[in-house]
């Protein structure tokens, strides 16, 4: 977790600045080079938010297009990565609000994604259950939990991405974790209070 959080958003390097300027003038190749380092993380964010591999890829594409066409709204004083994550998170939240249904977890491991080339194993099934519990959270709580506990962002960064105060971010994360904990207890992924007491 700490390793994930280290050095995620640094000040805009000069090369990145140049790419931003070129991209804002309509240089698509510069924009592609600019976002390339973030694509995998954006995909993971979208995948954990939706639980769908194809939908995650589509959402990342939508996020990149929205970022490209609205690059003029980006200000150099903010980290480009933070701004890009903000765009992507908003795209995911918009899609989830439109969808308003529970995601379907495929019965087999997704091709090219998590568990590629493997048969459904107990570990894979366990991860699917955890993912399903995550995607069962309300979108706003889900975004906060995914950004913090899976993506490893700091509270301040999450506050910028979600447009909230750090205190509100903590509240959402707390509520999301509480719901998840309850769900994990029901699924017996976590030991119950009685079990923990007995083990002690």
Residue ranges binding other proteins (CB under 8 A)? 1-2, 5, 12, 14, 17-18, 20-26, 28-29, 31-32, 36, 39-40, 43-44, 47-48, 53-54, 56-57, 60-61, 64-65, 68-72, 74-77, 111-114, 116, 126-127, 130-131, 134, 145, 149-150, 154, 170, 173-174, 177-178, 180-181, 184, 189-191
| Alpha carbons 24 and 16: distance in angstroms, whole number | 12
What is the torsional sign of CA 142, 145, 150, 152? positive
Which C-beta is closer to other proteins: that of 12 or that of 100? 12
Nearest C-alpha neighbor of 16 from the set 72, 79, 103:
79
CB 96 → other proteins: shortest distance, Å?
18
CA distance 150 to 146: 5
- Nearest approach in angstroms of CB 101 to other proteins is 22
Please answer whether residues 177 and 149 qualify as being in contact, where contact means their C-beta atoms are separated by less than 8 angstroms: yes
Length reported for the chain: 200
Whole-number minimum distance, CB 170 to other proteins, in Å? 8
CA–CA–CA angle 111, 113, 117 (5° rounding): 50
Minimum CB distance to other proteins smaller for 102 or for 182:
182
Minimum distance from residue 166 beta carbon to other proteins (Å): 11
**Token pair recorded at residue 168:** 């509100």
Instruction: Output helix, strand, coil percentages for the chain, rounded to the nearest 5.
Output: 70, 0, 30
Nearest distance, CB of residue 163 and other proteins, angstroms: 20
Identity of the residue, 100 or 188, whose beta carbon is nearer to other proteins in the bound complex:
188
Closer to other proteins by CB, 39 or 90: give it: 39
The residue among 9 and 43 lying less far from other proteins, judged by its C-beta, is: 43
Closest CA to 129 of 176, 183, 57: 183
Residue 44 Cβ, how far from other proteins at the closest point, in Å?
Answer: 6
Q: What is the Cα–Cα distance from 17 to 70, expressed in whole angstroms?
A: 16
Complex with other proteins: residue 116 or 197, whichever CB lies closer = 116
């Amino acid at each position: 977790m700490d390793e994930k959080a280290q050095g995620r958003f640094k000040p805009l390097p000069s090369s990145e600045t140049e790419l931003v300027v070129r991209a804002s003038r309509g240089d698509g190749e510069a924009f592609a080079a600019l976002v390339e380092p973030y694509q995998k993380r954006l995909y993971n964010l979208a995948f954990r938010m939706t639980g769908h591999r194809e939908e995650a890829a589509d959402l990342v594409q939508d996020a990149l297009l929205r970022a490209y066409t609205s690059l003029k709204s980006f200000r150099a004083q903010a980290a480009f990565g933070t701004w890009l994550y903000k765009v992507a998170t908003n795209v995911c939240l918009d899609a989830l609000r439109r969808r308003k249904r529970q995601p379907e977890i495929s019965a087999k491991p997704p091709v090219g994604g998590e568990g590629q080339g493997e048969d459904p194993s107990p570990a894979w099934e366990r991860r699917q259950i955890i993912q399903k519990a995550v995607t069962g959270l309300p979108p706003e709580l889900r975004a906060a939990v995914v950004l913090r506990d899976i993506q490893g962002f700091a509270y301040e960064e999450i506050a910028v991405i979600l447009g909230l105060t750090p205190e509100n971010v903590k509240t959402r994360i707390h509520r999301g974790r509480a719901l998840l904990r309850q769900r994990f207890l029901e699924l017996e992924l976590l030991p119950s209070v009685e079990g923990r007491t007995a083990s002690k």
